């Protein structure tokens, strides 16, 4: 997935809707993936920054939700959200806090979690993930990444 993202970024393209449904396996037994659905994509020009609310909400970066400037980091954020979901079965910002593990979060709560980068590794599905996997996610899902 990261190699595909590296390629489209080398072409100055922001996808803006990376999610599991937009990652396709080339063959059932292979490791080759394709990024699909470029309906919201655009050519990135740092001299002409763009703000738009685009993509699937739970995979969106804080800058998208806050209607701020998007960059290549916007798509990389979505990769970390997908990684978390692959390990746990739920996106990181929908995961309830440890003190109320059975609570289903509302959209305003999910929005607050995304904007404040509030997530945890306490969910049963992800608590046993490797520290390297967790570090990868932590490295990306933080406010104002550089």
CB-side neighbour CA atoms (13 Å) of 126: 27
For the chain, domain boundaries: 2-140
**Angle at CA 33, nearest 5°, toward 32 and 36?**
150
The pLDDT of 6-35, averaged and rounded, is 92
Q: Is 64 helix (H, G, I), strand (E, B) or coil?
A: helix
With beta carbons less than 8 A apart as the criterion, state whether 61 and 77 touch: yes
* Active site residue ranges: 17
For the stretch 62-80, pLDDT in tens is 999 999 989 999 999 999 9
Average pLDDT, the chain: 90
pTM of full prediction above 0.95: no
Taking domain 2-140, whether its CATH number is 1.10.510.10 is answered by: yes
């Amino acid at each position: 997935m990261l190699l595909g993202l590296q390629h489209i970024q080398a072409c100055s393209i922001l996808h803006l809707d990376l999610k599991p449904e937009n990652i396709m396996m080339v063959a059932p037994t292979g490791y080759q993936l394709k990024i699909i659905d470029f309906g919201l994509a655009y050519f990135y020009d740092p001299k002409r920054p763009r703000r738009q609310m685009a993509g699937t909400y739970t995979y969106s970066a804080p800058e998208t939700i806050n209607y701020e400037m998007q960059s290549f980091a916007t798509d990389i954020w979505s990769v970390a959200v997908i990684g978390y979901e692959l390990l746990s079965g739920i996106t990181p910002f929908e995961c309830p806090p440890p003190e109320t593990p059975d609570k289903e979060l509302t959209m305003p709560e999910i929005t607050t979690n995304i904007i404040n980068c509030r997530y945890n590794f306490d969910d049963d599905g992800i608590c046993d993930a490797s520290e390297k996997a967790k570090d990868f996610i932590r490295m990306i899902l933080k406010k104002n990444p550089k």
